């Protein structure tokens, strides 16, 4: 008996499972992200992250895809996971701060951005983001 688009009915059949293995999903997700399709990238990278939950490279690509598809809370969660798994990842602190900034939580965004700047004071992107968040917080005080 067949089901759907000619796929055999079986207990292991998943209609939305992409073809290939986890590495191929990761590669396709990164390519989709690079090619400007962050929502599609996030979908396939989420599948890869479910299959390989301890992979920081998959999580980072997923976080970037979530951020670029304006899923800022999801991106913040993904960047938090990376930070907790490896507290020396300056980019994860930066991503977490940026995602929190985009959710409107300037107070929460300030700390991870400050950590990113402390880790890489030579990064203009990190420094500029922290300056903007702090300026916004100061402007809100007046």
pLDDT tens, residue by residue, 7-34: 444 444 444 567 788 999 999 999 999 9
Instruction: State the pLDDT confidence band at 142, using cuts at 50, 70 and 90.
Output: confident
Q: How many domains does the chain have?
A: 2
Domain encompassing residue 42: 19-70
Do 35 and 81 fall within a single domain? no
* Confidence band, pLDDT 50/70/90 cuts, at residue 111: very high
Q: What is the pLDDT of residues 46-56, one digit of tens each?
A: 999 999 999 99
Are 76 and 95 members of one domain?
yes
pTM (2 d.p.): 0.83
HEC profile of the chain: CEECCCEECCCCCCCCCCCCCHHHHHHHHHHHHHCCCHHHHHHHHHHHHHHCCCCHHHHHHHHHHHHHCCCHHHHHHHHHHHHHHCCCCHHHHHHHHHHHHHHCCHHHHHHHHHHHHHHCCCCHHHHHHHHHHHHHHHHHHC
């Amino acid at each position: 008996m067949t089901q759907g688009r000619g796929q055999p009915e079986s207990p292991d059949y998943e209609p939305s499972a992409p073809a290939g293995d986890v590495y191929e999903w990761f590669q396709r997700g990164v390519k989709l992200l690079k090619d400007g399709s962050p929502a599609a990238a996030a979908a396939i990278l989420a599948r890869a992250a479910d299959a390989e939950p301890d992979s920081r490279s998959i999580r980072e690509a997923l976080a970037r895809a979530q951020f670029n598809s304006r899923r800022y809370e999801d991106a913040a969660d993904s960047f938090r996971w990376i930070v907790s798994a490896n507290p020396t990842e300056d980019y994860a602190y930066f991503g977490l701060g940026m995602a929190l900034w985009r959710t409107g939580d300037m107070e929460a965004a300030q700390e991870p951005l400050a950590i990113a700047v402390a880790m890489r004071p030579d990064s203009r992107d990190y420094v500029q983001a922290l300056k903007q968040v702090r300026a916004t917080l100061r402007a809100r005080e007046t």
